[in-house]
Every structure is written in structure tokens, then in C-alpha cells.
Amino acid sequence: METNVRPEKIRELRARMQALGLEEKDIVEKFVRSRGRGGQKVNKTSSCVYLRHVPTGIEVKCSEGRSQSINRFFARRRLVEKLERLLLGAESPSERERMKTRKQKLRRMRRKRRASLVEGSNNP
């Protein structure tokens, strides 16, 4: 996979794929035309990447960047995240990160609520 992505990120992605048992031969890859911003460039080139993992049937479509090579990397990363969520459930890295953020937001909301209650009781 030749991309404009740093080699260490590619190594990390390949390691995650290997840990899940995800092989390139199980992935169907298609290139389609993107939509949205980008003007003539996106209208002329097939830079959007569509991936389908045949054994599970999981599909991913990615057109984050204007470059096909970058979109190939992002699509594979999304596919790995979806597979991790499917196989590992709450133990997947993306799910743990989501729960961590959720807890932080809940803590902030509680603090804010307490502060507003204290403020309200001080003002007669």
C-alpha cells in the first residue's frame, strides 16, 4: 500500500490488522468518484475508496482527502475500527476512548450543576 502517510502509522495499522487476523485477500477494494467539496478535481478522479470485508460483510466508504492513497489508508483504519468494535466490543480501543470522553463530559456537567446550585443558594 503506497501512500503519503508516515511509515510508522502504516506499520501500526498493519499490526492492528494482523492482530485481528484481517488479511488483504479478504478485502474487496473499489474506487469511485467522490462527492462534495473539491471542485473539478473530485469530479474527474475516482478518489473515494470503498472497502468490503468479505467474511463479515462490513463495508466502509472513505473520501476524507482528495488523494486516493490517503483515502485507502483512512478506509483501512475505519475498517479495522469497525472490526475491533464487532469482535472486542467494549474492550476495543475506540470504544474505550469513547467511554473515557463520555465520563469526562459527565464529570464536567456534574461540577457545573453543583456550582450553579451553590451559586443559586448564595443569592437571595
Q: What is the pLDDT of residues 102-112, one digit of tens each?
A: 999 999 999 99
**With contact defined as beta carbons under 8 Å apart, do 28 and 54 qualify?**
yes
Q: Cell triple for residue 63? A: 473520501
For CA atoms 69, 74, 78, 80, the dihedral sign is: positive
pTM of the full structure: 0.71
CATH fold of 1-89? Double Stranded RNA Binding Domain (3.30.160)
Q: What is the pLDDT of residue 124?
A: 56
> How open is the CA angle 115-118-122, to the nearest 5 degrees?
135
Kindly tell me the sign of the dihedral angle through the C-alpha atoms of 11, 65, 53, 57: positive
Query: What is the b/e burial string over 88-100, where b = at least 16 CB atoms within 10 angstroms of the residue's CB?
Result: eeeebeeeeeeee
**Is the confidence at residue 94, as pLDDT, over 80?**
no
Whats the size of the chain, residue-wise? 124
For 21-43, what is each residue's pLDDT tens digit?
999 999 999 998 877 776 776 67
Q: 70-79: buried (b, 16+ CB within 10 Å) or exposed (e) per residue?
A: bbbbbbbbbb
pLDDT digits (tens, 9 = 90+) for 55-66: 999 999 998 888
Start-end of H helices in 21-67: 40-44
